[in-house]
Amino acid sequence: MQIAASQLQAHLQRECRSLYTLYGDEPLLVQELGDAIRHTARGQGHTERTVHTVAGAHFDWSAVLASAGSLSLFADKQLIEIRIPSGKPGKEGSVALQELAQTAPDNSTTLTLVLLPRLDAATLKTAWFGALEGNGVVVKVDPVERGALPHWIAQRLQLQGQRVAAGDAGQRTLQFFADRVEGNLLAAHQEIQKLGLLHPAGELSFEQVEGAVLNVARYTPFKLAEAVLGGQVARVQRMLDGLQAEGETPVLVHWALAEDIRTLYRVRTAIDAGRPLPMALRESRVWGIKEKLMERALPQLSAATLTRWLDDAHTVDGIAKGLKSPGWPADPWQALHQLAMKVALTCAVRC
């Protein structure tokens, strides 16, 4: 069965199964959920722990199967962790995972924990993943998106007896905190712990947070593209500066922006041809956050506007590759700023 990450603690208080699978790309949350399972397992006598990290095409799955069926002289129960950083166990691994999963419900002496990265839709439909889900508990570990980050920070502060001021003042403090740690949840956790060491329990002022929290935000070109579609002008500016400072290549940043402009144009064309918006988005394989952002933006964007943006994207592509264009900065990052801000300002005003 599959449960939400927020449900795992309550589940473990009720029961402890013999097979758990965690998958997602948020190391802090995966570590914390894994620790909760390990703690429960130790409390139930699984004192011996073996870790197998699947690396390379020649990984020995027979060793994993052998350890699952044997115990040392020093423990009655064991915990076996199988870490698959690539998310691809291979043909032999697929067979081994299915065998482990099918025998897990009847194996009271071994608790198996499988750790995986974020998985695509095709992998979620494989026989081996289906076996893990059908014979144990699967937990999807979703990232904390920017919009939810202030609330997540407030919850973590509350766990150590701290809080920000009530009302707008406190929200501004949380937004400032979120801006400093966006995209780097492990660092956010460390900054929260730092506040716990520096200041006593109780209310934290903006000045205390500002003086303690380092700027450890990490941005990606794809999160930048989301901010552009959302019309978050100040955030777009901050993310562009951050990406440049981190040494990101302008070509990749341009590709992320241009791909969204091309998608908007395709969907707009489909709508103008009579396709309903939800159908046009599905046909262009737009899902999740991007789907919501484009649903909001597209009714206000004409084909003529999107055609101009396509032309601008083509111009910036040339600049990023060393060409010059009249009316545009010669510096690739300045050209990217101009393109991104043009789209973001339009979305902010019209959407």
Mean pLDDT over residues 173-202, rounded? 92
The mean of the pLDDT values for the chain is 91
- For the chain, the domain total comes to 3
Give the model's pLDDT for residue 321: 87
**Is the same domain home to 208 and 227?**
no
**pTM of this prediction?**
0.71
Mean pLDDT over residues 102-125, rounded? 91
Give the model's pLDDT for residue 127: 95
350 falls in which pLDDT band (50, 70, 90)? Answer: low
Q: Using the predicted structure, report yes or no on whether residue 251 has a pLDDT greater than 70.
A: yes
Q: Which domain holds residue 97?
A: 2-140
Domain boundary residue, one of 194, 212, 230: 212
Give the model's pLDDT for residue 28: 93
**Is the same domain home to 254 and 316?**
yes
Chain segment 38-90, per-residue pLDDT in tens: 999 999 898 888 899 998 777 888 888 887 766 655 557 889 999 999 999 98
Output the CA–CA distances (angstroms, integers) from residue 9 to 5, 160, 167, 185, in the order listed: 8, 18, 31, 20
Q: Using the predicted structure, report yes or no on whether residue 217 has a pLDDT greater than 90.
A: no
**Is the same domain home to 236 and 346?**
yes
Residue 23: partners with Cβ closer than 8 Å, 6 or more residues away: 87, 115, 116, 117, 118, 119, 138, 139, 140, 141
Could you tell me if 26 and 144 are in contact, meaning their C-beta atoms sit under 8 angstroms apart?
yes
Mean pLDDT over residues 152-177, rounded? 94
**Is the same domain home to 276 and 301?**
yes
| CATH number of the domain that residue 259 is part of | 1.20.272.10
Mean pLDDT over residues 265-285, rounded? 93
Percent of the chain predicted with pLDDT > 90: 71
Q: Which has the closest alpha carbon to 153: 131, 128, 125, 175? A: 175
Beta partners for 138? 2, 21
Could you tell me if 113 and 79 are in contact, meaning their C-beta atoms sit under 8 angstroms apart?
yes
**Is the same domain home to 93 and 175?**
no
Could you tell me if 143 and 185 are in contact, meaning their C-beta atoms sit under 8 angstroms apart?
yes
**Is the same domain home to 235 and 346?**
yes
Give the model's pLDDT for residue 67: 79
Give the model's pLDDT for residue 119: 92
Percent of the chain predicted with pLDDT > 70: 97
SS (H, E, C) 33-75: HHHHHHHHHHHCCEEEEEEEECCCCCCCHHHHHHHHCCCCCCC
Give the model's pLDDT for residue 23: 96
Task: Give me 202's structure tokens.
Answer: 């109780």
**Is the same domain home to 127 and 10?**
yes
**Is the same domain home to 9 and 47?**
yes
**Is the same domain home to 47 and 72?**
yes
Domain boundary residue, one of 98, 124, 140: 140
Task: Give me 335's structure tokens.
Answer: 């050209």
Q: Using the predicted structure, report yes or no on whether residue 277 has a pLDDT greater than 70.
A: yes
Give the model's pLDDT for residue 58: 79
| CATH number of the domain that residue 175 is part of | 1.10.8.60
Domain boundary residue, one of 190, 212, 234: 212
Q: Using the predicted structure, report yes or no on whether residue 351 has a pLDDT greater than 60.
A: no
Chain segment 1-40, per-residue pLDDT in tens: 999 999 999 999 999 999 999 999 899 999 999 999 999 9
Task: Give me 255's structure tokens.
Answer: 């590709």
**Is the same domain home to 251 and 345?**
yes
**Is the same domain home to 157 and 125?**
no
Give the model's pLDDT for residue 289: 86
Task: Give me 315's structure tokens.
Answer: 């111009």
User: Residue 204: which H helix or E strand, with range?
Assistant: strand 202-204
CA distance 149 to 147: 6
Instruction: Calculate the CA dihedral of residues 336, 338, 343, 348 and round it to 10 degrees.
Output: 120
106 falls in which pLDDT band (50, 70, 90)? Answer: confident
Task: Give me 10's structure tokens.
Answer: 């309550």
**Is the same domain home to 175 and 237?**
no
Mean pLDDT over residues 129-146, rounded? 94
| CATH number of the domain that residue 83 is part of | 3.40.50.300
Task: Give me 271's structure tokens.
Answer: 């709508």
